[in-house]
Structure 1
Amino acid sequence: MDFADHVKEIERVGQGSNTGRDAIVVESWRRCLDTYQLDPAQAREAVIVSQTRLREHRQQAEDLVHIARSGLERLYRQVAEQNYVLLLSDRQGVTVEFLGDPSFNNNLRKAGLYLGSEWAEPRAGTCAVGACIATGEALTIHQTDHFDITHTPLSCTAAPIYDTQGTLAAVLDISLLSSPILKASQNMARHLVSSTVRRIELANLMASSRHDLVLRFAGAPEFLDVDPEAAISVDGAGRITGMTHGGARLLAASRGLDWRRPELLIAQPVTDFFEAGLDELASLTRASLPQNRRIAVRDGSTLYAHAIEPQQRTVSVPVARPSRQQPAMSSLGGNVPAVDELRRKVTKLASSRLPILIQGETGTGKEYLARIVHTVSGLSGRFVAVNCAAIPEQLIESELFGHAPGAFTGALAKGRKGLVEEAQGGTLFLDEIGDMPYAAQSRLLRVLAEGEVLPVGGSVPRRVDFRVLSASHRSLVDMVAGGAFREDLYYRLNAAVLTLPPLCEREDLPWLLEQLLEKHGTEGRPLRLSGAARLLLLHYAWPGNIRELDNAIAFAAALCDDGLVEVTDLPDQLSGMSAILGEDSHQADLRAVLLTCKGNVSEAARRLGIDRTTLHRRMRRLGIDRPH
């Protein structure tokens, strides 16, 4: 179809004619014409947002991207040989994650199949991401389905990702620069994308519902424990606290409700949707066979369910006023020299009012450490965290310092107190301080030097008293040398420096691993690691640091059977290491125990239930030296 024919068909659809296009395409074309006032005869080149805007969008989507990453990489490996590229877009249609063949970068960028591309319908016209955002449905926009003639070579398939509260969070899309003529050729692509989205939503629900009962559902018992179709979480009062998109559709269908109105589902009694009480639902664990875990739905249908018991919250009732310092200090890490030295520094510095700069790679726990410093300090005010990289440059001053009534277009009529004032009497934590704009750096310096804050558009300064902590994964010394960071502000912030090492350099990695297993397990289903899985976790490089490890354990918790994490339950980038290590399970199990015991053969023998002589004999037979 040439340009003129394509424009004429869109115009006929706008006049009410039926041209044989899918209804979802026709509705999108009409939105483009009537709502967005787009001209089909005017070509629109792909839009790639600025690095500043991209950073803002990626920061806001960071938690979801981390949870989704393993599923995205697995999907890409499945489709890469067919020349697909993978895009993860946020709810505004901006691509925040991209996987594609770098040899096609120029063509992909020109087509908009690239990191930072903007695919919302008002910007790009009819496209898979934009139509998915508008409809909330999985769909394919194939070649001339696209509104804009510049996109008609593409074939794009997308599915929505919903958060646990039923709100659209992102869109997963796989696209081809060129593809077979038939649209039906993309049916398998839609199945793969939808399956990946289902697993991402399940992992997200499991990670956010550790203290709630989680119910996973399937229409057939054979798939209940391996690939559930839907899931919900329920609190101790029997009310729904979260759901996957499949769970939202299931709940809505059971009572004839609209799944697009999650407020009708969240916080409602679970008994409104199932012919079973909370105790009966909670009993549907793996203790019984899948075929025996049947439940009746209010609409008369029958499903099979798998209940995962909640992790019990620890509640203590002290008889004396508790010390906040000891629990906080113990949570810093295991008993190794580097962590002991960090505890010593925090103990000495926390009670002072010295500004502290925390340095470390992304994901090493800089905010977690800042919160511990605040807790130990004994300050009565709030801990106020500000991510300087996530606030748009034009808003950061009003966010930090507040604004006077009517100070600028869109300002609140009554004015607004800034985050600096919110930290009065407490701690202001400036995360990623290296990304603060230069102008805002100047104003922050004045606040720290004078103890006063002047709201944007205001004329009367206000006294403030707070402790400032800051953090950055960048070298502020280098930024000062390059003129990107104020030298005088740098010396105001780094009266003391605490440095967090990357996870791969931490000697207490086994301790951290045990804490996360406990965090993601439940009282009725504690998480355990097979020897091979433990070995992989201990040997992996962890480029994403503690955040990546946390997500990996959350992912494994969602997939594993009976709480035992095997290699196949780990994210793909980890399980792929098993071939590299090249060890059988006996070697892996034994080496993992020795690593956990830091090479102490006596302790390892005790854990294995054998004597030291037997353990030494096994080590020699398997060619294993004592780890140092």
Structure 2
Amino acid sequence: MKSQPSDADAGDRPRLWAMGISRLRDLFFDISNEYGDRADLRVVPRGFEDAVKEIEAAGDARPDVIVAGGSNGAYLKPRVAVPVVLISPTGFDVMHALARARREAESVALVTHGETPDEVRRFAAAYGIDVGFASYRSVEDAELCVLDLRDRGVGAVVGPGLVTDLAARAGMKAVFLYSRDSVRAAFDTALDVARATRGEALRRQRLDNLLQHMRDGVVALDAQGKVEAINRSLAAVLGIDATEAVGRTLLELAPDIAGALPDADGEALGSVRGVSYVVHRGPLANNGAAAGTVLTFQESRAVERLDRTLRSTQRTRQFTARYRLDDLIGDSPSMQRARALVQRYAKSIATLLILGESGTGKEMVAQSLHQISARRDFAFVAINCGAFPEALLESELFGYEEGAFTGARKGGKAGLIEAAHRGTLFLDEIGEMPLPLQSRLLRVLQEREVVRLGSTEPTRVDIRVIAATHRALTDGIEAGTFRADLYYRLNILNVALPPLRERTVDLMPLAVELLLQVAKREPRLRARVKNAEAALRALAALAEPLSRYAWPGNVRELQNVIERIGVELADAEGAGPAVLTSDDLLAIAPEVFETRPAERDEALTLRERSRHVEADEIRAALASLNGDREAVCQALGISKTTLWRRLNGGNGRK
């Protein structure tokens, strides 16, 4: 059923469908004739699933915009590819409906679809209207809501058509919420939306006509990356149907071209289905503002020799450094020296080797150095060399070309070395790297270029390498598991991190900071541990047993124990500040109190290992300074006597 048009040219007017049942349907019919000269307005007495079917069956005759109310409109919005305008009651509607309901019954409730708007609650409060509020999200929910209100003694209900029908059937007074003015406002909004939609369609048609006359492949994307227009040249290259591409994302249509697209406005070289192209990216302007992107694909035969400097702009979240120099907590001389070295070495581009036991914070040092270096605006790429099988580590580090091995991604993949271009590559547990990969890494360090698996074409890279290890690499050299030339290439600069047992003065400040970090994640603990003073009071009685423990897992182990302490503090009884005793610590971390007969022998072994590491540092410095001992002493800040003693005692030999 339609309103009667005032002219015969209905095809030029926006098509509006007013979809509603019961009382809203009747209101639509009453008003529809007012819009006969402005819109092809059709009142469709359908709701929910029946309404969806009616729209889908319309085909090309479907409406430009749909007007609906309450739950019906909310149901249609995500299910139809047509804009849906919801009818919103005005403040006068609410006031008038509530006033009518109060004349019908003493107890009144306002029922709305979804949460009751705050402005409605404020309106009722401002005018002193005694009214209950309820909401629903589905037909079944509305039925239960009305029955609940009836059982609670509510005599009159104000709401949309669905609710008022249910209330009437339940024997309650019912007042329809929507008015003629609110429906007219929805119709006017729908007309504006329809005109805008038709204007956008006309703009797209003009754009498409322009693109079809261009020789190069061109595609116009909206702000969400969906295709607005694509010419036949590019559609043929991508192997897609141009008529079916509009409205779908480009990467959904052709996921293989992701690596060929520039991340920002400008040009880049890329490969599309085996053919090389210069890809230009520019803004798609609308009324002077950028509303999307235009991509132009121009065929090129020189793409394989492209200098891939564009990779430096691709800084993703997974390749960022989180830790800063201030995160290296501790005022012990060894930590002060470590921080000083980090600040000094951040000014250099030389390769750095970080030495230290597991859990001492080697990656934290690497990240903090990157953060204060000239490369901080580029990627920080970290990989654990001991966490991958050899074949997987090789492909992750160096990347691969399409078809390099079974299961290789179509189009190939850049490795982590390439991803770190102009940034920092952190190789953790470098001592675990397999020998065959050590030779390939050595070439990267020497030539600053990488060759992907399955390729013969090297790619230039500008990276700074930071490596870390918890073992003496010279032992690996003697055992034949680590290349000496790679060791000397890595150990140009070095930082040795002390184990926690050798800097017990830092233990309590570390424990306090770790407890504060736990409190940030745990609201119950945050109420008890609000600042560093509160954290120190909570841990004060634990200082002695914590300081006596050797901490073989270093700061990482301390963090685990503090996590347990945080849970215990959060669960403590009472509302005031909580403190723990040694007995509490014994219950939650008994290993802290364990004494082992071999503890002294283990300590000696650790000291010997520390001396061995010091000797390694000195030998590396001698190698880099051509054996000049005076220069080595000056560089390391030690005397000649200390240098001689450490060299002769580093391996436990006199």
TM superposition score normalised by structure 2: 0.37
Larger Rg: 2
TM superposition score normalised by structure 1: 0.39
Q: Of the two structures, which has the highest relative contact order with CA contacts closer than 8 Å and spacing of 6 or more?
A: 1
